[in-house]
A and B are shown apart, each in its own frame.
Chain A
């Protein structure tokens, strides 16, 4: 088990280092000058030079990379060019929206997908199975921004149950904050739940054909007990992999939904950072997301140990 763990940990560190170099180099070659962007079309050359110096853009690339890397090691992500506030502060603010939103939509995803997938597999080729497959086919096919707009029109514009978007801030109260995330979470969860339900179903169907299932049935275990004790547990490995990927996606990839609901999440922070050439924000946030994705994958690898006893002996 410790060899397995050390191996995973080592690849985690190497992946992070490689990612930091790639991110830095990509942003070096992107055309566009942050100072020029900030000052706009009336800027004088001397003003541009003064701002570049203020932002530290006149330093050579290697020294900027080293400063950035060592800053990150002790939690300093730098100061945003445009917002003039520490990137850490910006990220924490955005995480205050993106993290609850990701958790909420992932919970919804699991709450819908697990029962639906298990039901469909257990009653294979029944009407229930066809219904689940039909609905999830629809859920995968519908563009989620369209579904989000539909939710806004029905629940905000017509029914006035929710506001059309925006995030008032957690200091206004837990319910008020949570309420502004409900529609976005539903919009995000629909396609994810559909995908996960289908993965759950097919993984379960695969395991149900394994020899040990037949043995268990032959030993006189009921169909229900076989399903829960043997099949579901073994089907979880591919399902957990997908859940891990989905969480990473929901954390950073919700940008379209964030736009529809004008939520101040991480996705929009990166997008804004790119268009405004707030490169320090882009670098640091992308690095942070890479870290999150790698960490989630690491945790998923760990969870395999919990699910699969064979890995514990390595």
Chain B
């Protein structure tokens, strides 16, 4: 009895002790790139905009969760018509924008109409292309009618570019964003940081973190110093893979390596001889040793991919064996194709992974008798000359948007890939809302691209996150560009 009393007293003391030890309510977040503006719906594809604003300041009808699955958000539920063309969204009641304006179905209509309108400068306008009309049924019900089936419509409405904005503040969201989310914009010292504070009138659950300072640090050395000096509590998309081992060894930090949607490819100009010959593309694919490239470009962090699909996705299948490392086969294929003394251009954008992987690929292709001329280009130059004018043979780039395999079917896209079979699969996918059938088609797509050697599939960019080990709730994977502050909290 006495013993248990003492134990009880000790337990009581410990409990009160923890109650006194106030846990922190602020967090210092760092990311590599500063967003150009804070409006995710106009003129700016920068993932950085979404990394700051998504689900913090702005919310959409649906949201994408940490596993990449669609969840309800501003729409608490929805009905889909039997033909899959009409979506009726039932909205939450009592939601307010951060400036006090009530959120209603009118705001949904305004946002979707603005995004698909003629004057729209939304970087992902294709998400809204099939919307035929948006009708307000009553203040909490909105009906969206599509002109044709869009299998991923609910997912697409969860993108950071499809968030709902208020007409009143739409013009000033770039510098003073106002949304319905759990955090409101406080200040932005351009070039240094953005501060967000908890929205006291938030309609949903009250988050644990009350103030978040988001710093922008692009230099890898500076990033390492900021973490080690304790200036930063969490760094998502950590730019210094070479320092990861050192940080891992420090008990103050936790390091996670998750997946992203960034398929890094050696793009081949399918429309230009001799790369229009599948045998030549196959030869190049077999000449590539993915491990050597991942070691060079990412210090070993990164998952090899055999097609254009994220290993973090449930529909992913490992097809790396189709283009396994086999230089002898490459030489045989080149001989079969009758290609000799081949010289190809390889244009490298300034991304670290591209500049590091380039020389490895140059060497590997030299081994099978292909001479590669490397040219380093700036991003703007890359976008104009490689991406738009398709003036290239080979290039290395990471495609970071979620589920963007559809680009292979786009007419005039820089891959210059053409296969009627692919277009057929994409139409089928668009017409399907059944998840099991969607998965089957997505797997067919992966196999088709792998067997056509539509590109040299290298690796999935890793999402390296370095954090204070007491900070919980950080997303390990990055199914979309996002930094969800409301899910973070400090351990007691």
Contact = CB atoms under 8 A, between A and B. Distances in A.
Interface of A: 31-44, 46-47, 50-51, 54, 82-85, 90, 93-94, 149, 152-153, 156-157, 160, 163-169, 259-265, 268-269, 272, 275-278
Contact of B219 (A34, A35, A51, A259): A259
A308 B133 CA distance: 79
A96 to B, nearest CB: 9
Give the one of A83, A156, A167, A277 with max B CB within 10 A. A83
Interface in B186-234: 187, 189-193, 215-219, 221-222, 225-226, 228-231
B126 interface: yes
B190 A33 contact: no
B243 to A, nearest CB: 12
B175 A32 contact: no
B379 A83 contact: no
Given A39-B123, A262-B217, A269 B225 contact: no
A165 B37 contact: no
A264 to B, nearest CB: 3
Given A38-B44, A262-B215, A268-B191, A32 B225 contact: no
Nearest to A55: B43
A75 B399 CA distance: 41
B388 A152 contact: no
B190 A164 contact: no
Nearest to B173: A84
A39 B49 CA distance: 12
Contacts of A90: 190
Interface string B340-370: 0000000000100000000000000000000
B380 interface: yes
Given A31-B381, A31-B385, A259 B222 contact: yes
B46 interface: yes
A64 B378 CA distance: 25
A84 B174 contact: yes
* Interface residue SS majority, chain B: loop
Given A39-B123, A169-B189, A262-B216, A83 B225 contact: no
Given A41-B387, A42-B124, A50-B118, A165 B222 contact: yes
A42 B381 CA distance: 17
B401 A50 contact: no
B423 interface: no
A43 B45 contact: yes
Interface string B33-59: 010110100011110000000000000
B357 to A, nearest CB: 19
A166 B215 contact: yes
A181 to B, nearest CB: 13
A38 B43 contact: yes
A82 B36 CA distance: 5
A310 B254 CA distance: 69
B404 interface: yes
A26 to B, nearest CB: 14
Nearest to B189: A169
B384 A41 contact: no
Given A41-B387, A275-B378, A264 B229 contact: no
Given A33-B380, A165-B231, A276-B380, A262 B36 contact: no
Contact of A47 (B123, B189, B217): B123
Given A41-B399, A272-B34, 19 more contacts: A31-B381, A33-B380, A38-B43, A38-B123, A40-B46, A47-B120, A50-B121, A82-B37, A84-B175, A152-B229, A165-B226, A166-B193, A166-B217, A169-B189, A259-B219, A262-B215, A264-B191, A272-B191, A276-B380
A82 B218 CA distance: 18
A51 B39 CA distance: 14
A149 B385 CA distance: 37
9 contacts: A32-B381, A36-B388, A42-B401, A46-B118, A51-B121, A82-B44, A85-B190, A156-B225, A262-B219
B102 to A, nearest CB: 27
B98 interface: no
- 10 smallest CB-CB distances across A and B, nearest first, come from A264-B191, A32-B380, A40-B45, A82-B36, A164-B225, A164-B229, A84-B174, A156-B229, A277-B380, A51-B121
A39 B387 CA distance: 13
B30 to A, nearest CB: 9
Contacts of A94: 190-191
Interface string B313-349: 0000000000000000000000000000000000000
Contacts of B10: none
Give the one of A32, A90, A167, A275 with max B CB within 10 A. A32
A269 B189 CA distance: 13
Contact of B229 (A50, A149, A157): A157
B190 A36 contact: no
A160 B231 CA distance: 10
Contacts of B120: 47, 50
B173 to A, nearest CB: 10
Nearest to B378: A275
A185 B7 CA distance: 58
B228 to A, nearest CB: 5
A42 B191 CA distance: 26
B119 interface: yes
Given A32-B383, A33-B380, A36-B384, A47 B229 contact: no
B291 interface: no
A38 B378 contact: no
A163 B124 CA distance: 39
B21 to A, nearest CB: 22
B303 interface: no
Contacts of A276: 36, 380
A54 B43 contact: yes
Interface in B5-49: 34, 36-37, 39, 43-46
A285 B8 CA distance: 69
B465 interface: no
Contact of B379 (A37, A85, A93): A37
Nearest to A153: B225
Nearest to A162: B229
B125 interface: yes
A262 B221 contact: no
B126 A152 contact: no
B489 interface: no
Contact of A37 (B190, B216, B225, B383): B383
Nearest to B36: A82
